[in-house]
Structure 1
Amino acid sequence: MNYAPHLIACVLGIAIGGAATHVFDSSGLANERTAHKRDNEVNAQKLASLSEHAARAASDAIAAHNAAAARIASLDDQYHQERKTHEAGNAKNRAAIANGTRRLRITIANEGARHPKDPSSAPPATWAMEPVATPSYHQRLEKVFLD
C-alpha cells in the first residue's frame, strides 16, 4: 500500500491549519494590543486630568494659606500697635497720678453708714466707673476667622 499521497495530504492539511491558526491568532493579538494601547491612552488622560486637578487644588490651598498668614500678620501688627498705644496711655496716666496732676477717684458704697460701729459690715471699695471689657487678642482673631 502506498500511503505517501495520504501522508502528504495529511501533513499539508496540518501545515495549512497551523498557518491559518497562526494568522488568526496574530490578528487577534494585534486587536488586543490595539485595545490595550487605547485603554492605556484613556487611563493616561484620566491620570493627567486628576494630576492637574490636584495641582490646582494644592496651589489654591497654598494661596489661601498665604492669604490667611498675611491677614494674621496684619492683625498682629494692628493689635501690637493698639497695645503699645494703650500701654503708652496707661504709663502717661500713671505718671500724671504719681506727680499729682491727675487724681484717681474711688467711691465707697454707703452701706457702711447703716452700721457705723461695725466696720466689717461695710462693703468693699468699688471703682467709680466700671471698666469696659474689651475682647482679647485671641477672641478678636477668632471673630475675624470664624465669622
Structure 2
Amino acid sequence: MDAYTAALNLLSRRELSARQLRERLARRKFEPGQIDIVIDRLTSDRTLDDRRVALAFARLEASIRRRGRRRVLQRVQQLGISVETATAAVDEVFGDIDETAMLDAAIARRLKGATVRTLDLKGKARIVRSLVGQGFEPAQIFARLRRKGDDLDE
C-alpha cells in the first residue's frame, strides 16, 4: 500500500490534523519525503483541513464534553493545530454557547443536590479545582459560586 492510499484509509475512519496524519504515516514506516508529498496533496485538495478538524473537535469538547474555553483551546492545540487556527475555531464555537449557563450546569452537577452554602471550604475547593481543570476561568467560577451562595432560592 502506498502512502497516499494509507492516508486516505486513515482519513476515512476519522478526521485527523496534518500532524496526526504525519505521525500515523511515520509509524507505518513511510519515508518523510513521501509523507510530505501526501500531506501537501491532501491539503491542496482539501481532503485534509486543520480548520475543519479544529472546528469539529472544539464543538465536541464544548457541546458534548462540556469543557470550558481554556481546556477546549488546549485540547485543540494538542492535535497539532496552529494557535491561530485553534483560537479562531474555539472563538467560533463559543460564539454560539452561553458559557455562564454551561458553568452553572457544571456547578450543579458537582454540587450533587447540595447548596453552595452547605459546603465547607474543602468541598468548595474541590469544586473549584474540578471546574478549573475543565477549562473554566477561576474568576468566573468564584463569581458564579458567590452568586449561587447569595441566592435565596437555594
- Please state which band the TM-score falls in when normalised by the shorter chain: under 0.3
TM-score under structure 2 length normalisation: 0.25
Larger Rg: 1
If asked which structure has higher relative contact order (CA below 8 Å, sep 6+), I would say 2
TM-score under structure 1 length normalisation: 0.26
